[in-house]
Amino acid sequence: MPTIVPVLLSGGSGTRLWPLSRKSYPKQFAPLTGDMTLFQAAAGRVAGPGFASPVIVTNADFRFIVAEQLQAVGIDPGAVLIEPEGRNTAPAILAAALHVAATTPDALMLVCPSDHVVPDAAAFRAAVEAGRGAAEAGDLVTFGITPTRPETGYGWLELSATPDGLAPVPLARFVEKPDLATAQRMFDAGSYLWNAGIFLFSVRTILAAFAAHVPDMLDPVRRALDEARPDLGFLRIAPDPWGQAEAISIDCAVMERAANRAVVPFAGGWSDLGDWQAVWREAGPDAQGNVLSGPATAIRCEGSLLRSEAPGLELVGLGLRDIIAVALPDAVLVAHRDCAQEVKEAVAAMKARGADQAESFPLDHRPWGWFETLVLGDRFRVKRILVKPGGVLSLQSHHHRSEHWIVVAGTAKVTVDGEARLVTENQSVYVPLGSVHRMENPGKVPMVLIEVQTGAYLGEDDILRYEDAYARG
């Protein structure tokens, strides 16, 4: 029986879930509906008997987040492929197929987005098993979700026959996101399903499909893999040939053109969490239709989502109806639930006027830990920095700023101009402008310090790196 190799696509930005999801830290890495992140839950659904270690396709900014989150749930990836730039799903899936073909050419590939919610993992695995026979026989199998409403935010799948349980059904056609009247007709017809963007096929079948329908994509993606270089356990795809591959979705490139297509109906619960309306729905509103998260209070509210992502920030709603309110330390969203799909327009407007909050998350995640800005003023900035056990910042200097470090938890090993010493809780160290310095955590617990920067320019690009344990440029 062929092994199933999961392929998790995790390079998206999820701007409709701003301010919690941003380009620097998108929704798949956030715990939106439970204790685990969407990415961790996706990896867990395709782990265990019958599944090989997953292949992850992501970008350079997320590579350490991917590794850290998989480690936290005890899953070792088979490979982490780093895209030089996003080229949509077709090149990403082709790269994964070529990578798997090099070692396991007889395998099946299960391609999954990493930002979906599937509450019943066992039911999902049963649906995958139901599609195995069709995939082994040479079909391109996709998974359609039994609709529960006339949804206009999803693409749909028209079936050539009425679905019967989990048995695969031939696919008649793909339908783009419809207007409400069309969605209602499809919902009433009973022969349409939502398009989940999840696929199962053999490596040989999908490579043959690319050769038949988008042959010009094969050469640049194959060269990008051939010229890829290992980097700290990741595989960096070569940028020049990769940039020559057409940026196109797998639906448009292959699935809409192929004849050997089948759909497995799935009624076990699913959401792509594409907007805050979906988060409200999946979180399970209370008797008044409200969903509260974090330090939030609702008084005489109905049908509303109130979510505070800052422990010290109280969010209070009075007399609200069908409102979304999401508060982070640096940004607040207030919108009517009917406008949930339009959040991306607000993000575009903020980006156009140069607002950092459009794309940058308050916590700046780094391979050694994270930092956040507490206060930013004229010629000074105050940060809180957390360094994981064993974490090492780069050996660096600054042209425009000096720094004061005060350790508030744990122990730091600090090197300034070649002199190393340990700095413990309530101790501090001064790093003059231009000094070559490094900080690391030699202990077994997280180390936290407060950094006070002073100088004429305090941007994060004022760093000259001499050595870096994480091979950043």
Please give the Cα distance from 179 to 251 (Å, whole number): 20
Q: Which amino acid is at 456?
A: A
- Give 91-138 pLDDT, tens digit per residue: 999 999 999 999 999 999 999 999 999 999 999 999 999 999 999 999
DSSP category for residue 106: T
Burial class from Cβ neighbours inside 10 Å (0-12, 13-18, 19+) for residue 348 reads: exposed
pLDDT in tens, 365-400: 889 999 999 998 999 999 999 999 999 999 999 999
pLDDT of amino acid 471: 78
* pLDDT value, residue 163: 79
473 pLDDT band (50/70/90 cuts)? low
6 and 79 in contact (C-beta within 8 Å)?
A: no
First and final C-alpha spacing in the chain: 44
Give residue 161's pLDDT band: very low, low, confident or very high (50, 70, 90): confident
pLDDT at residue 303 in the model = 97
**77 vs 242, which has greater pLDDT?**
242
* Six token digits for residue 216: 């010009």
**The pLDDT of residue 407 is above 70:** yes
Taking alpha carbons only, the member of 421, 424, 422 closest to residue 449 is 424
417 confidence band (pLDDT: 50, 70, 90): very high
Percent with pLDDT over 70 in the chain: 100
Model pLDDT, residue 153: 86
- φ/ψ of 148, rounded to 5, equals -115, 0
What sign results for the dihedral spanned by CA atoms 26, 32, 34, 38?
negative
CA separation for the pair 135, 15 (Å, rounded): 34
Other Cβ atoms closer than 10 A to 249: 15
pLDDT of 33 above 90: no
pLDDT at position 439: 95
Helices vs. strands in the chain: H and E counts, helices first: 11, 28
Average confidence (pLDDT) over 35-62: 93
Give the model confidence (pLDDT) of 207-224 as tens digits: 999 999 999 999 999 999
Rounded Cα distance, 168 and 273, in Å: 25
Q: Could you tell me where the beta strands, DSSP code E, fall in 239-379? A: 261-266, 291-293, 296-299, 305-308, 315-318, 323-328, 331-336, 363-366, 369-377
Q: Which domains does the chain have, with CATH numbers?
A: 4-266 (3.90.550.10), 287-352 (no CATH), 363-467 (2.60.120.10)
Residues 3-19: tens digit of each pLDDT? 999 999 998 777 899 99
CB 166, CB 94: distance < 8 Å: no
Band of residue 312 on the pLDDT scale cut at 50, 70, 90: confident
Identify which of 14, 18, 5 has the alpha carbon closest to the alpha carbon of residue 309.
18
Region of poorest pLDDT, from 193-202, 243-252, 345-354, 464-473: 464-473
Report the C-alpha gap between 279 and 307 in whole angstroms: 11
Does residue 364 surpass a pLDDT of 80?
yes
pLDDT at 151 over 80: yes
Q: What is the reported pLDDT for 231?
A: 85
Q: Is the pLDDT of residue 430 over 90?
A: yes
